[in-house]
Structure 1
């Protein structure tokens, strides 16, 4: 049965703002306190989705979460009406309040880890919502994210959902931003590649010192066990601690893979020679294409600021891959020169397509952050929620929805406006009807 890689992109939420919440994320900290444009951000994301759908790729949508998260604020001792909770939290604990307003769920590469049915022992698609334990503003996402995934992939004959890993540093799990898959054909069994930042239970091992390692070896192992993956077809690799300290907070900021190709920076991994050997051994007799970007052509500094590797690597035709890159890659001369030379090489990456996702980029997430890759065969697509798959009609409907509900500009001060919660809930209530999700948000129950 034919299978496809479906890109499930996160819609930028109504509270999209620049609060600088993500330590270790250079762009997030650099742009803190600037005014954002939720409307522009959402429309930029939708335009990218539509462009990829027009290229013939299968595209779907994941909704944003309810923000501010009043339920979490109540757990933290703020009481009264919703309006009173918001005003008290914004006044007495502004940093905590800003965290509960984050629209970070739009970066659905962190929503979960997905293993296709071709790779799992029970031949179902397995989902594990990421606990995102390293950052408070992200650690509160998992419960609703899991409900949304279950609403889209509800047929237990085809889909298996796992609870997020236990919270805490030892099992910090950042989802698919540290996971990729290699295969000849999406329908065939592939090699699942887990990249981690540190060993949580062995502090004698190398680890970053300036910025935290958000993904642990132990978390990656746990997800592989839950998904019932073959040990012979599963590879674990440690990220280079030095690049984490340079602002590479996830592997998808320094490497991206697709089918039989790994596009990576020279300094991405610890023990790169061993990583390549392990991947090729697991992959088998067919060759893997290792496309390495040298430090002397594109420095880690340039890679982080342009988000060269936070591009989507997609297959447009057999043997023809395209890099879906952010506009910032054209603004950096070293990166632009490299990409110009890349497409002239005799490799699998034949073209580069540039898209404007600046609102997301300024908060620390590029094209790859905005999407979760879900490999589904024809029967699994038919068994999932059809209302989330993007076509011309849904695209127009969602653009109208954004223009109706979203603000043009938002500052951190604006987050304290109780009207924003009402606007957000009205928008999400309407969106759940558009996407036929049912009641997935706390305010709907």
Structure 2
């Protein structure tokens, strides 16, 4: 079977809550302390996956990690009962749902050894995410155990790496050699920079990328300061198309010249700041969309419904699709629970170009499998979680039972045994 793009979505876990743990993520901060709805959140994510299957796309999934992470707290001399509220919340975080931060992926056509390489992200900048990588690594090692893959551990601190959310791949077709772009930050004003250039350079060496087809591009400081904590909040790419905000990159002129030299057929669709402000782009997550190639030709932009609700954004998109450009369809999806915590459709998925036959089938999704998971979610996931609920010991048993039901259902209990993934 030829190589194809597979979108692996993170299934939203039963501890989904709004603790506002992510400085620079404006939606996360705005909704801190509100009541979250884990069951609705997970069902929204499943519905998005089902809709992608209906489009003819290949779909995979990753599982929620074991939370609360008591072992992490114990390593810090803490426990769930006595921990400060922000540390307790960090132990409960369901942020592994945002699979775009799981890893950086270099498909086989780009690498020296002809294998697909995946490097798990260290996520070291944010305490509530810094303890994800070991659980993510275990899932990656199971899902991509075939000889056609190489799975690598995290880049060493102090070099921050947040995975595919800051990585762009452009190519003539998914199965052809591509250009890999590592986007990094230097200054975010009041907000921390999460992606370091040193991490990107290390990953490019580890993956065996061709230096002549690898670029390191600085994200605009204005974009970071406006709340674009990851580059995928202001830019998204698919095959030969780059869709970006005018203020996404620090030196777009040099960047675009390099792209046109390396990939003459590239189409750059730039949204002008005078039409859509950075504030509206961040609020609507216009660029945190899945830009996908449809089986019957053309491309579609799978957007959060918030883009529809933002007049400047929706008007500009409407004019764009009237033209003869490559993006022919706009498909709004409801992921409002994820959006309220600062993650849109693109945050929820990791793109892997590979032969599906080489992937552990337990991590691949079809309609029947997703229907079965939805039944479990409806039965076991808490309907709501308020901040005070994180102090309730009874909630631990509820969320652990929920996750156990899921991994038993997918026959992954033996592989994911123990208190963490």
User: Shared fold (TM-score greater than 0.5)?
Assistant: yes
Structure-1 residue corresponding to 2:182:
194
Q: Aligned in 2, Cα 1:266/1:399: closer, same or farther, shift over 3 Å?
A: same
The answer on whether the counterparts of 2:14 and 2:403 sit within 8 Å (CA) in structure 1 is no
Q: Is 2:127 the counterpart of 1:147?
A: no
Structure-2 residue corresponding to 1:65:
65
Q: Tell me by how many angstroms 1:318 deviates.
A: 6.4
Structure-1 residue corresponding to 2:229:
249
Structure-1 residue corresponding to 2:349:
371
Structure-2 residue corresponding to 1:420:
395
Q: Is 2:19 the counterpart of 1:13?
A: no
The answer on whether the counterparts of 1:263 and 1:290 sit within 8 Å (CA) in structure 2 is yes
Structure-1 residue corresponding to 2:262:
282
TM norm structure 1: 0.92
Structure-2 residue corresponding to 1:394:
369
Instruction: Give the secondary-structure state (helix, strand or coil) at the position aligned to 1:66.
Output: coil
The answer on whether the counterparts of 2:56 and 2:295 sit within 8 Å (CA) in structure 1 is no
TM norm structure 2: 0.97
Q: Tell me by how many angstroms 1:250 deviates.
A: 0.4
Q: Tell me by how many angstroms 1:444 deviates.
A: 7.0
Structure-2 residue corresponding to 1:328:
306
Root-mean-square deviation (Å): 1.3
Structure-2 residue corresponding to 1:214:
194
Q: Tell me by how many angstroms 1:382 deviates.
A: 1.4
Q: Aligned in 2, Cα 1:444/1:353: closer, same or farther, shift over 3 Å?
A: closer
Runs of 5+ unmatched residues, structure 2 = none
The answer on whether the counterparts of 2:98 and 2:348 sit within 8 Å (CA) in structure 1 is yes
* Equivalent-residue separation in structure 2 for 1:129 and 1:363 (angstroms): 22
* Equivalent-residue separation in structure 2 for 1:223 and 1:423 (angstroms): 39
- Give 1:86's match in structure 2, choosing from 80, 84, 87: 80
> For each residue in 1:165-209, what CA deviation from the matched residue of structure 2 results, as whole angstroms up to 9, or x when unmatched?
1122xx1000000012111111111111111112xxxxxxxx232
Structure-2 residue corresponding to 1:203:
none
**What is the aligned residue count?**
420
Structure-2 residue corresponding to 1:265:
245
Q: Which runs of 4+ in 1 moved over 4 A?
A: none
> For each residue in 1:342-362, what CA deviation from the matched residue of structure 2 results, as whole angstroms up to 9, or x when unmatched?
101221101100000000000
Instruction: Give the secondary-structure state (helix, strand or coil) at the position aligned to 1:268.
Output: coil
Structure-1 residue corresponding to 2:34:
34
* Equivalent-residue separation in structure 2 for 1:440 and 1:247 (angstroms): 35
Instruction: Give the secondary-structure state (helix, strand or coil) at the position aligned to 2:242.
Output: strand
Q: Tell me by how many angstroms 1:278 deviates.
A: 1.4
Instruction: Give the secondary-structure state (helix, strand or coil) at the position aligned to 1:443.
Output: coil
Q: Is 2:416 the counterpart of 1:440?
A: yes
- Give 2:386's match in structure 1, choosing from 396, 400, 411: 411
- Give 1:181's match in structure 2, choosing from 162, 169, 173: 169
Runs of 5+ unmatched residues, structure 1 = 79-84, 199-206
Q: Aligned in 2, Cα 1:383/1:319: closer, same or farther, shift over 3 Å?
A: closer
The answer on whether the counterparts of 1:235 and 1:282 sit within 8 Å (CA) in structure 2 is no
Structure-1 residue corresponding to 2:55:
55
The answer on whether the counterparts of 1:319 and 1:348 sit within 8 Å (CA) in structure 2 is no
